[in-house]
């Protein structure tokens, strides 16, 4: 698990250094990769975006 977090931190550092990325949109892919990796180790599946129906629509 520690390896996955270290890889995530390197990805964030690279994104910041190369593109000045520091917002959710630019960091989303790195975070999803982290969640997928950690989830796979626990036999879980990441659903990136799950639509929820509400009474308001």
* In-domain check, residue 52: no
* In-domain check, residue 53: no
* In-domain check, residue 35: yes
* In-domain check, residue 26: yes
* In-domain check, residue 21: yes
pLDDT at position 1, please? 56
Q: Residue 23: give the domain boundaries.
A: 3-42
Measured CA to CA, the distance from residue 28 to residue 12 in angstroms comes to 10
* In-domain check, residue 51: no
* In-domain check, residue 38: yes
Q: Half-sphere exposure of 45 toward its Cβ, with a 13 Å CA cutoff?
A: 3
**Span 1-57, pLDDT tens digits:** 589 999 999 998 988 888 887 777 778 889 999 999 999 989 999 888 888 888 886
Q: What is the DSSP letter of 52?
A: -
Total domains in the fold of the chain: 1
pTM, two decimal places: 0.69
């Amino acid at each position: 698990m520690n390896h996955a977090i270290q890889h995530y931190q390197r990805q964030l550092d690279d994104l910041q250094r190369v593109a000045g990325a520091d917002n959710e949109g630019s960091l989303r892919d790195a975070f999803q990769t982290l969640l997928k990796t950690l989830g796979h180790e626990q036999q879980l599946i990441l659903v990136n975006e799950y639509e929820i129906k509400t009474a308001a629509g």
